[in-house]
Amino acid sequence: MNSFEPGNKKRSPAILGEPLIDPANWNKEDFQDNQKYLYNLSSAEINEIIDASDKFEKTGIELKNLRKTSFDLPHFEKTLTDIIHEEVLNGRGFIFIRGLPVEDRSVLQNAITQWGLASYLGVMLPQNKQGNLLEHVKDAGGDINTPNGRGYNSANKLGFHSDSADAFSLMCLSNGKSGGEHSIVSSVTLYNSILERRPDLAKELEFNFYRSRRGEIPDGEVPYIRQPVFSVTDGYFSARGASSTINRAQDLPEVPKLSEKQWEAINFFQQLCGELALKIDWEPGDVSFVLNHVSLHARTAYEDWPEPDRKRHLLRLWINLDQKRPVHSSIAKDMSGIKLPLGTKVSTPLEMTLV
């Protein structure tokens, strides 16, 4: 039986400095005794999705060229489209789909399944300067605390953040030995909470913060971008993370140092995220779709299994949405994934990019 239920759809034009009324304003207590954010696939829906995946694999077309016209879902399409528009784009801002088989299927087959579902939201974006449209969230010895460190190839704790795309998708193939707990928080609820408790800090987070580009830049470009944490455009609220990219930008010689009040605001931001966040236990086969503009996500550090075939492994996609949400101009520039060096070709590697 499905516990999934549509969320609240009430929205008023957003104004910074005033409480936000938005369908993405949810609390973890809303899911205390249920999993309304979870859509459990029926056997018929699973069979239809797997059939579409297998049909695409047999064509021999490269994964990077998969579009929704090549991933036909004659019965599930309406349900999937409704979920995307009602919940991800215009509702609570995220959905988890559960029930897909992954253990007896290859990485390519699982990637086709995730990509095929994601193609109903938009097109995939590069996630690093190598041009990877498909990335593997798997420990390859990376360290988020280094100047150019990336969280996806490390086992580090990740603070609450958003990605350089309108939306992202994760698909769980296997869990680690311990840790790696996934958390998600409504940035709308977060803003309202900061505004209520510390309006002075809410104001501080409107500043155009310097953010490290983590070395993922073509030669000759500046190593940072500037973005507010909280912003409103055409009556729509949007938030970005206040975590490692801001911290690491402070090590760049050309970047001004943050004030004590700004550090206080960043620390309070992370503290409240932890208090408000919904913790989600991954099951193999789970697929998430999350709208970055109204959601922040984090992960605890994890310990992996020693056996290579048991290691924690998630597939990740960054998605450029067909249906755009108005966002601050500086954020819009960063919503196209990682800017690639001239001549770089996009790819969909089926193994983790080594550090």
- What single-letter amino acid sits at 271? Q
What average pLDDT does range 236-254 have in this prediction?
A: 93
Copy the structure tokens of residue 117.
């579902």
Torsions phi, psi of 281, nearest 5? -90, 120
Supply the DSSP symbol for 52: H
Copy the structure tokens of residue 63.
């994964």
- Would you say 316 and 126 are in contact if contact means Cβ atoms under 8 Å apart? no
Residue range 14-32, pLDDT digits in tens:
999 999 999 999 999 999 7
Supply the DSSP symbol for 134: S
Task: Tell me the C-alpha distance between 142 and 171, whole Å.
Answer: 20
Q: How many domains does the chain have?
A: 1
- Note whether residue 308 is domain-resident: yes
- Note whether residue 176 is domain-resident: yes
Considering Cα of 116, then 186, then 322, then 2, what sign does the dihedral take?
positive
- Would you say 224 and 210 are in contact if contact means Cβ atoms under 8 Å apart? yes
pLDDT above 60 (res 4): no
- What single-letter amino acid sits at 32? Q
- Would you say 352 and 138 are in contact if contact means Cβ atoms under 8 Å apart? yes
What percent of the chain stands above pLDDT 90?
76
- Note whether residue 193 is domain-resident: yes
- Note whether residue 224 is domain-resident: yes
DSSP H or E segment with residue 318: strand 313-321
Task: Tell me the C-alpha distance between 76 and 44, whole Å.
Answer: 9
Question: What CA–CA distances, in Å, run from 252 to 2, 20, 24, 163, 334?
Answer: 49, 35, 35, 21, 19
DSSP characters for 238-284?
Answer: EE---SHHHHHHTTSTTSPPPPHHHHHHHHHHHHHHHHHPEEE---T
Task: Give the pLDDT of residue 139.
Answer: 81
pTM recorded for the entire structure: 0.93
- Note whether residue 342 is domain-resident: no
The CATH number that applies at residue 195 is: 3.60.130.10
pLDDT above 70 (res 355): no
Query: In 10 A of CB 234, how many CB atoms?
Result: 9
Residue range 298-315, pLDDT digits in tens:
998 888 888 988 999 999
- Note whether residue 281 is domain-resident: yes
Listed residue (224, 251, 259) closest to 145, CA to CA:
251
Task: Tell me the C-alpha distance between 80 and 116, whole Å.
Answer: 11
- Note whether residue 8 is domain-resident: no
Task: Give the pLDDT of residue 6.
Answer: 53
Residue range 62-103, pLDDT digits in tens:
999 999 999 999 999 999 999 999 999 999 999 999 999 999
Task: Give the pLDDT of residue 334.
Answer: 86
β-pairing, 182-186 vs 122-124, is: unpaired
Task: Tell me the C-alpha distance between 355 and 275, whole Å.
Answer: 33
pLDDT above 70 (res 340): yes
Mean pLDDT of the chain: 92
Quick one: pLDDT band at residue 216, thresholds 50, 70, 90?
Answer: confident
Residue range 49-70, pLDDT digits in tens:
999 999 999 999 999 999 999 9
Task: Give the pLDDT of residue 251.
Answer: 93
Task: Give the pLDDT of residue 5.
Answer: 54
- Would you say 349 and 108 are in contact if contact means Cβ atoms under 8 Å apart? no
Listed residue (272, 276, 296, 290) closest to 28, CA to CA:
276
Rg for the chain, CA atoms, rounded = 20
Task: Give the pLDDT of residue 1.
Answer: 42
Quick one: pLDDT band at residue 146, thresholds 50, 70, 90?
Answer: low
* Residues 6 or more apart in contact with residue 168 via CB below 8 angstroms: 289, 290, 292, 316, 317, 318, 319
> Domain range holding 138?
35-332
- Note whether residue 14 is domain-resident: no
Q: Which residue has the tokens 């205390």?
A: 32
Task: Tell me the C-alpha distance between 85 and 72, whole Å.
Answer: 18
Considering Cα of 324, then 319, then 67, then 341, what sign does the dihedral take?
positive
